[in-house]
Chain A
Amino acid sequence: DAGVTQSPTHLIKTRGQHVTLRCSPISGHKSVSWYQQVLGQGPQFIFQYYEKEERGRGNFPDRFSARQFPNYSSELNVNALLLGDSALYLCASSPGQGRGTGELFFGEGSRLTVL
């Protein structure tokens, strides 16, 4: 069975550009969460989407946005890239959004480098 898939796996952008990262959850999973992982640190929560609606947002500027599609796949968009946006962006899916579904299944991530 396919796990959480993310694309692209690696990309390089310059300051001021924008980027779109894509995520396909595990089949049957309706919740998708996005995390940013800076080198040497733990992942930081950015967004959660469930049934195509935003259900949670972390402490990130408005340059970060996301959406979820009818097939439950998701996109993370980052505008006006800064050097500090360089990180591994992780997507995670789970069946629902209720308590106890802490077993998020993570993808391998998209490594973004901003020059």
Chain B
Amino acid sequence: GENVGLHLPTLSVQEGDNSIINCAYSNSASDYFIWYKQESGKGPQFIIDIRSNMDKRQGQRVTVLLNKTVKHLSLQIAATQPGDSAVYFCAETRGSSNTGKLIFGQGTTLQVKP
């Protein structure tokens, strides 16, 4: 069924440490995954995406890992900063070419301690 979930609702890290946010998805037909960041009072902001033909993709201070065997997705943030404090959502697309439809997880709140 449609289910994109996250393992932990809240993650608290020290400033400067690395953060790892996890996400599990249930549909093996999903082939495109996106991480979004949502700050309080704002809309979700695109962070990074990955296709199912890849295992890893890196951006600026962020890395997304995809393990299709166990249907697991993770977002790694290097040298976490206070500005990284937000709710992080994984999202997936599946099926038709209509990628305006994303299936979001419930989100993980990242708290960065100074």
A-to-B contact residues, CB < 8 Å: 4, 31-33, 35, 40-45, 48, 50, 55-56, 58, 90, 92, 94, 97-109
Contacts and interface: CB of A to CB of B under 8 A. Distances in A.
B32 A100 contact: yes
21 contacts: A4-B43, A31-B100, A33-B100, A35-B102, A40-B106, A42-B104, A43-B102, A55-B98, A55-B100, A56-B98, A94-B99, A94-B100, A100-B99, A102-B46, A102-B102, A103-B49, A104-B100, A104-B102, A106-B43, A106-B45, A109-B43
Interface of B: 4, 32, 34, 41-46, 49, 51, 89, 91, 93, 96-107
A74 to B, nearest CB: 11
A102 B101 contact: no
A111 to B, nearest CB: 9
Contacts of A101: 99-100
Contact of B99 (A44, A102, A105): A102
A97 B43 contact: no
A39 to B, nearest CB: 11
Nearest to B93: A102
A105 B106 contact: no
